[in-house]
Amino acid sequence: MLRGIPRKEWPQSLHWNWARKASPLHNLLGNPLSGVRLFGIEVGGEWQGLLLAECTGHRSRADAPSKEIVYIEYVETAPWNWPLPRIDQEARHRALGPQLFEMAIRWSMQLGFKGRISLHSLPQAEEFYRDHCQMTDLGLDPNYDELRYFELTEPNAKKYLSRRKP
């Protein structure tokens, strides 16, 4: 238990070591021809959220089988942006995940992938991707830690962007 919160209620990404995740990508991130992009939101000199995506080596399984798709490797907000009511912690900044998600959709569109994106979701985020983002749940992936695989189709990408006014 951490501050009276049972482990099963901790954010499932708490164990992620971002330095280890980013290290192999160091040379790719600065290369404009790379198929890897790191999107981030910075406020007051502090990173509030990050999304790492790649546009090579992934194909759609749902909307347009075998069409290219942007795959989200990681998306996370800073711990001070996690709403944790059990310890009276309010998020300093809200809606970072939806903003980062929009950046991935827009990159997919720039690439000609028509907004198609995909990811494997931690169980705590499944409802967000299915209900808020309108992603298609393609079930548990036995080849990826039994995490659920989701895809955003072209029509749902357009709907998502139409709901987010600039």
115 contacts 108 by C-beta, under 8 angstroms: yes
- Is the confidence at residue 24, as pLDDT, over 60? no
- Is the confidence at residue 42, as pLDDT, over 90? no
- Is the confidence at residue 3, as pLDDT, over 70? no
- Is the confidence at residue 27, as pLDDT, over 70? no
Write down the CATH number for the domain with range 35-164. 3.40.630.30
State how far the Cα of 58 lies from the Cα of 117, in Å rounded to an integer: 10
pLDDT at 26: 55
Q: Which residue has the higher pLDDT, 8 or 82?
A: 82
95-152 pLDDT, tens digit each:
899 999 999 999 999 999 999 999 999 988 999 999 999 999 999 999 998 899 999 9
State how far the Cα of 97 lies from the Cα of 41, in Å rounded to an integer: 10
pLDDT at 1: 45
pLDDT at 155: 95
* pTM for this predicted structure: 0.82
Taking alpha carbons only, the member of 112, 105, 100, 93 closest to residue 74 is: 100
